[in-house]
Amino acid sequence: MPANKNKLLRMGVIIEMMRKNSFPNFTRFTAEMRRRDPAGAYKLSERTFRRDINDLKVEYDAPIEYDDSERGFFLTNPDWVNEKLMVEPFEMKGVLLGQKVAEALMPEPLRSSINDAVRSLLTHNSAGFADRAELDMMQIINPMQLPLSPEVFRTVFKAWEQRQKLQLTYCSVKGPPKEMVFEPHVLAWQWGVWYLKGMLCGTPKHEYRTPYSTILAVHRIQQAEQLCSSFESDRQLLDTVKKGKLFEFSRYPEVRLQFLPKVAVQVRERFSSQPSCIQESPDGSLVVTVQDLAEYEAVDLVLWVRGDVKVLSPEPLRQEILRLAETMRQNQQ
């Protein structure tokens, strides 16, 4: 009997979670469904979840097993597919839009792999766009993308994917290249640059007694070799990145800036997602209060409006702006 649409949706989420190595169980699955629809009241019994898992195994031949250590289900063959579980048109639209983003951000060889996968899906599924839509007319510009060695990125990506250590030759901005052994916990893209955040374990000849966390720029890796030694993911490292703290920069607990009326429109646009941080003054100026801001971000915010702003607090930020202004004045003499 064909599954109804709600059941197919649930099965799709279960498969997606397994492909992401999220090891779905009843608790994790329901949490994921509620996350996708925060305004809804998603309810599902554990019996229904178990039945969905069983139907995937029996009706669709999904190679699903239970992992006791992870307390969840997984695919014993990550490449398993079943054409009965067709991709909906709206899902293909999301796939194609994701491909456009990947073309701008992903380096080779991952970019080609994504393009090949999308082409394969298109041979069996509708694109999901209107008949007259031209996807090439949408472009994502990423002028800051730095060149990466495809071989290095392939090795780095596989080690991150398989949670295995790397032996690297790394050339930092300071000093000659160094040999190191590194655990790639988090792969992150920021400001046009790919970074690895993980644990530095030592060198090929010396293992550190206490590994420490650090960040490496992937484009500065000259050589990379995947080692057989594996590691467990550090969720704390991931949590810091998710909070927008890839780098542990010094931060201001609170920043208050008064923008002049001439830049009020630009300021409202920039902070449109958090209008509560804006307070309008009788003279038309805007006082913006931002919590937990990195020092460099606060300086960039002041320079963004080319000086049409007054720093109300904190005092160290005001002094830093004065210092920068004096330095720039002296450099122009």
Cα Rg, the chain, nearest whole Å: 25
pLDDT for the residue 198: 94
Strands of 193-203's sheet in order across: 206-217, 193-203, 178-190, 164-170, 221-230
Average pLDDT, 10 consecutive residues per value, the chain (333 residues): 68 87 91 76 83 92 92 88 68 82 86 84 73 80 80 95 95 90 94 91 94 93 95 86 80 95 94 92 95 91 92 95 92 87
The CATH number for 251-331, chosen from 1.20.1070, 2.30.230, 3.40.120, 3.30.70, is 3.30.70
Cis peptide preceding 316, ω within 30 of 0: no
- Cβ neighbours of residue 9 closer than 8 Å, sequence gap 6 or more: none
For the domain made up of 5-75, the CATH class stated in words is mainly alpha
| DSSP structure class, residue 14 | H
Coil, helix or strand at residue 312: strand
- Cβ neighbours of residue 54 closer than 8 Å, sequence gap 6 or more: none
Tokens standing for residue 248: 């542990």
Query: For the chain, which residues make up each domain, given as ranges?
Result: 5-75, 89-137, 150-242, 251-331
Task: Report the topology of domain 150-242.
Answer: SH3 type barrels. (2.30.30)
241 CA to centre of own chain: 8
- Cβ neighbours of residue 276 closer than 8 Å, sequence gap 6 or more: none
Q: SS3 helix, strand, coil % of the chain, rounded to 5? A: 40, 25, 35
